[in-house]
A and B are shown apart, each in its own frame.
Chain A
Amino acid sequence: MPPRPELPLRRKGRGRFLYAQNRPKDTMDLSFVILVEMLYAVASLILIGAGLAVVFGMMKVINLAHGEFMMMGGYATITAVNLGVNVFVAMLIIAPLIVGLIGLVVERLVIRHLYGRLVDTMLATWGLSLFFIGMTTMIFGNTTTGISTPIPGFAVGGYQINGYNFFIIVVAVLLLIGILAVLKTTRAGLVARGAMQRADMAASLGYSPDRIYMATFFCGSALSGLAGAVLAPLVGLVPTSGGAYIAKAFITVIAGGPSLVAGLLSSAGFFGIVSRIFTFAISPVIGEVALLVAAVILLRLLPQGITGRFLTGRL
């Protein structure tokens, strides 16, 4: 094939592609894009970690089925959307409710018998995760499904940005504010915090720890469902998708330390920014590696997590 003359061809009706490429790209635009990507990375870690932070951070239950709760949130959203429900209703209301209810059943049947038995809960929830993968495969099949993102992309100078990133950032911010508000300003939050610290004292004051644990586990599961639902339009969902989230969720929560909101925010911020810097500078693989290396170093220096040393006593 003879070499094609490039310019004339482009002028002839190929203008569709001319637009994005020939717009000047300055570094201001690029730094804005990188900033958004970093915020997005932090926000998605907050979302992935929130449900686990409630269940593990408050109740000391190691929920190895956390990833599967997220996966079910995604499937709940897709099913609801396919049934004609508005996508935002499906993501923000239906999926958290359904996964929360599944969590409730799991708590009543399995988890409540195992409070305080760390290794046993790990084993039980790992079994649950296999069970959920199997059930989802039976119902939806082992094929990739998904919905498209409901928000269009837009241009920043010469760059195109995924508009949905902003939605995820907003959801993460609202989620943190919501958790903080519930724990700090409501009576239910106060009772929950009290029961987590001294269950016997809460019981002597007339509150049933059993009920409080149940409600907390429901909230934690619902948060996992919400995270899975909100992230669903960005990925191809398969029944084994949960596995991709679980490691990041545990790293974020454990490195965060004892405080729920401050821990989540600080560790998600740290890991999100570290992984994005390496992703942009080198490659996505190195970005993931950097996240794990950062986690190892951080836990060596701060074995109690970030909020075990700094910001102690915060929520």
Chain B
Amino acid sequence: MTLNRRKFLGATAAMTGAAMLPRAVLAADAIKLGSIVDTSGIFDAYGKPMDMALRLAVNEINGAGGLLGRKIEVIAYDTQSDMALYSQYAQQLTRQDKVDVVHGGILSASREAIRQTMRKTKTLYFYNVQYEGGVCDHNIFCNGLTPAQQAEVLVPWAMKEAGGKKVYTLAADYNYGQITARWIEKYVRDAGGEVLSTDFFPLDVADFGATIAKIQTAAPDLVIAPLVGGAHLSFFRQWAASGMKDKIPLASTTLGVGNEHKVLTPEEGNGIMVAYSYSQDLDTPANIAFKERWSAAYGDPSALHELAISTYYGVHTWAKGVEMAGSVERDAVIAALETGVSFDGPAGKYTVDPKTHHATVDVHLMKFKDQKMDVVETLSQRPPIDTQAVCDLEANPDDNTQYEIQI
């Protein structure tokens, strides 16, 4: 058989077309869910379990027959812990892939890098991470803990446990730490206490010897430490090494989010007070069943953390909204979610707060004990009152601000 150029081109074109056909049909049929988190680089301890949780939730929905009779297809980009890639991939997700919803963002900086792109392109956006609160935007749903849900309960409890009113705060030096430190100051004052001093540390500071001496000079009754990342973990080490751990109690709003309690030895960690909506050690049937599903999909569940759980909730909450709306169209889904959709899962019930698009969640007061988080007290269904105080999307649907607390 002779093959001239014209025949060859014709044949390959036909074959390519035929090969592409079923995929095109399938793609039009599937609902597209965009994911944008750091699954490599320095934040991958946060991002990898988030990505796994997102896929687990999608597989569960697809396994149960999909959403509105259609499968969900995940389109995921790894931002490699590089803030510049967030805006690039956000453009790609919204303008080229034209996804129906985006889940993602880890650091507050990454959320702010992509939030306006989502808003402009009218792409529904879920931010599933504990953060400093105050984002007021019709297009975004935040289901992570905010300071009012965390610091508001943690601070008075820790002060009570410490049996004193003088607090020393050590915070990470970026927007999360700065704003959280102000919240801590507010709640310390509300409880009749006093913040002796607030020290901020850039993320690469790893030597806290001088700080520990300064804390002893100030002689507080309690140290609260919203410190972030590997270098800051040194503080907890050096604090224990100097023998201070049993002298002045410690509380943190961040320690344990990246499973740091498993890195610290029991001698270093025991007794540190935290407040989160999830811990691997929650002894509820829902959590045990969830961990079994996780193990079946990925093996060892020890990397699980609250951010992964929030992501899992985010996907399921969105799916409930879609089902209720009967469509993936943005405004219909938002309207459905604003009826106060809730999802019950491994961390209890998360309910969408219509006024703020944040979540009402259960919060557990916990103490580190032998590399686990021991639940001391559970406060059920805490609304995000910090954001509620400044944000009302029912009254101002066009609001597009991140409010910060003023003291």
**A162 interface residue per 8 A CB criterion:** yes
A37 near B237 (CB under 8 angstroms)? no
- A144 partner, pick from B40, B230, B242, B268, beta carbons under 8 A: B230
Looking at B44, B199, B206, the one whose CB has the most chain A CB atoms below 10 A away is B206
A242 to chain B, nearest CB (A): 12
**B385 interface residue per 8 A CB criterion:** no
- B44 partner, pick from A4, A41, A142, A158, beta carbons under 8 A: A142
A142 to B191, CA, bound (A): 40
| A142 to B, closest residue via Cβ | B44
B212 near A236 (CB under 8 angstroms)? no
| Known interface pairs A153-B242, A283-B199, A288-B205; A30-B42 also in contact (CB < 8 Å) | no
B230 near A153 (CB under 8 angstroms)? no
- A235 partner, pick from B173, B231, B240, beta carbons under 8 A: B231
| Known interface pairs A33-B213, A161-B242, A236-B233; A244-B201 also in contact (CB < 8 Å) | no
- B162 partner, pick from A17, A164, A279, beta carbons under 8 A: A17
A237 surroundings in chain B (CB, below 8 A): 230
**B192 interface residue per 8 A CB criterion:** yes
A260 to B232, CA, bound (A): 33
Within 8 A of A (CB), among B165-186: 165, 173
A238 near B230 (CB under 8 angstroms)? yes
Within 8 A of B (CB), among A13-39: 14, 16-17, 19-21, 25, 30, 33-34, 37
**A86 interface residue per 8 A CB criterion:** no
**A293 interface residue per 8 A CB criterion:** no
B162 near A142 (CB under 8 angstroms)? no
A17 near B265 (CB under 8 angstroms)? no
**B209 interface residue per 8 A CB criterion:** yes
| A22 to B, closest residue via Cβ | B219
A14 to B229, CA, bound (A): 32
**A115 interface residue per 8 A CB criterion:** no
A148 near B237 (CB under 8 angstroms)? yes
A52 to chain B, nearest CB (A): 18
| B205 to A, closest residue via Cβ | A284
B260 near A152 (CB under 8 angstroms)? no
Q: Hey, what's the 0/1 contact readout for B34-48 against A, CB within 8 Å counting as 1?
A: 000000111011000
A45 to B200, CA, bound (A): 23
| A155 to B, closest residue via Cβ | B243
Q: Hey, what's the 0/1 contact readout for A138-154 against B, CB within 8 Å counting as 1?
A: 00001111111101111
A10 to B164, CA, bound (A): 8
**B293 interface residue per 8 A CB criterion:** no
Q: Hey, what's the 0/1 contact readout for B16-45 against A, CB within 8 Å counting as 1?
A: 000000000000000000000000111011
B159 to chain A, nearest CB (A): 9
A155 surroundings in chain B (CB, below 8 A): 243
A162 to B263, CA, bound (A): 20
A279 surroundings in chain B (CB, below 8 A): 210-211
| A279 to B, closest residue via Cβ | B210
A25 to B241, CA, bound (A): 20
| Known interface pairs A145-B263, A284-B201; A162-B241 also in contact (CB < 8 Å) | yes
A274 to chain B, nearest CB (A): 13
Within 8 A of B (CB), among A242-263: 243-244
| Known interface pairs A40-B209, A153-B241; A14-B163 also in contact (CB < 8 Å) | yes
A218 to chain B, nearest CB (A): 28
A76 to chain B, nearest CB (A): 18
A301 to chain B, nearest CB (A): 27
Interface size range of chain B in the complex: 35 or more
B210 near A37 (CB under 8 angstroms)? yes
Within 8 A of A (CB), among B222-257: 229-234, 237-238, 240-244, 246-249
Looking at B207, B260, B267, the one whose CB has the most chain A CB atoms below 10 A away is B207
B237 near A149 (CB under 8 angstroms)? yes
**B202 interface residue per 8 A CB criterion:** yes
| B213 to A, closest residue via Cβ | A33
**B98 interface residue per 8 A CB criterion:** no
**A88 interface residue per 8 A CB criterion:** no
Interface size range of chain A in the complex: 35 or more
| A238 to B, closest residue via Cβ | B230
| A27 to B, closest residue via Cβ | B217
Looking at A10, A151, A154, A285, the one whose CB has the most chain B CB atoms below 10 A away is A285
| Known interface pairs A144-B263, A145-B263; A234-B213 also in contact (CB < 8 Å) | no
A236 near B263 (CB under 8 angstroms)? yes
A4 surroundings in chain B (CB, below 8 A): 160, 192
| Known interface pairs A25-B219, A142-B44, A233-B237; A280-B214 also in contact (CB < 8 Å) | yes
Q: Hey, what's the 0/1 contact readout for B68-84 against A, CB within 8 Å counting as 1?
A: 00000000000000000
B202 near A285 (CB under 8 angstroms)? yes
B210 near A287 (CB under 8 angstroms)? yes
A25 surroundings in chain B (CB, below 8 A): 216-217, 219
A30 to B200, CA, bound (A): 23
A280 near B231 (CB under 8 angstroms)? no
Looking at B44, B204, B216, B232, the one whose CB has the most chain A CB atoms below 10 A away is B216
- B247 partner, pick from A33, A160, A163, A276, beta carbons under 8 A: A160
**A297 interface residue per 8 A CB criterion:** no
**A159 interface residue per 8 A CB criterion:** yes
B65 to chain A, nearest CB (A): 37
B274 to chain A, nearest CB (A): 17
- B163 partner, pick from A9, A165, A235, A240, beta carbons under 8 A: A9
A75 to B191, CA, bound (A): 44
Report A's interface with B, CB cutoff 8 A: 1, 3-4, 6, 9-10, 14, 16-17, 19-21, 25, 30, 33-34, 37, 40-41, 44, 142-149, 151-155, 158-165, 233-238, 240-241, 243-244, 276, 279-280, 283-285, 287-288
For the complex with contacts A19-B247, A146-B264, 17 further pairs of A-B residues with Cβ separation under 8 Å are A6-B163, A20-B244, A21-B247, A40-B209, A143-B45, A143-B258, A144-B233, A144-B260, A145-B263, A148-B267, A160-B247, A163-B242, A236-B233, A284-B210, A285-B200, A285-B201, A288-B202
A-B contact pairs, 27 of them (CB 8 A): A1-B192, A4-B192, A17-B249, A20-B216, A37-B209, A40-B209, A44-B207, A142-B41, A142-B42, A143-B259, A144-B263, A152-B241, A153-B241, A158-B216, A161-B243, A162-B238, A162-B241, A165-B209, A234-B238, A235-B233, A236-B231, A243-B204, A244-B204, A279-B210, A283-B200, A284-B199, A285-B205
Enumerate the 10 nearest inter-chain pairs by beta-carbon distance, A residue then B residue, closest first: A153-B243, A236-B233, A20-B247, A162-B242, A14-B163, A144-B230, A149-B241, A153-B242, A279-B210, A238-B230
